[in-house]
Amino acid sequence: MDGIITILCALLGSGAATALVTGLVNRRAEKRRTETGESQGLRYLLQDRLEQQALEYLRRGYVTYDELRNWNRGHHIYHDLLGGNGDLNGLREELKRLLYETEGKQT
């Protein structure tokens, strides 16, 4: 009889733990889905700023290592922390190529 009670308690306990973890994960996912106007606006402004910077670097024909490093920090915030959609990934690749071309000309 004790074995059956132990098994039942284990089943109930694991089910409760699973439900708790699942609930916490779902709650966090829902929180990420519901954005505020502030976060949407911040993402838009950062995307616009990064686009303008990248286009300026491409227009002038070079980008310094420090400029690219700072641009990549902004891209990380836009893409990873604010949930950007990847629109700037192509510009990032162009800037990396531009840096390599610039470094090649200086040597």
What DSSP string runs through 18-55? HHHHHHHHHHHHHHHHS--HHHHHHHHHHHHHHHHHHH
User: Do both 45 and 25 map to the same domain?
Assistant: no
Report the distance separating Cα 39 and Cα 34, nearest Å: 10
User: Do both 12 and 46 map to the same domain?
Assistant: no
User: Do both 49 and 91 map to the same domain?
Assistant: yes
pTM strictly above 0.75: no
User: Do both 18 and 51 map to the same domain?
Assistant: no
User: Do both 12 and 45 map to the same domain?
Assistant: no
Number of folded domains that form the chain: 2
- Position 8 pLDDT exceeds 70: no
User: Do both 9 and 53 map to the same domain?
Assistant: no
Q: What single-letter amino acid sits at 61?
A: G
> Using only C-alpha atoms, what is the Rg of the chain?
24
User: Do both 30 and 42 map to the same domain?
Assistant: no
pLDDT digits (tens, 9 = 90+) for 29-72: 666 666 788 889 999 999 999 999 999 999 999 999 999 999 99
Domain enclosing residue 58, as ranges: 37-107
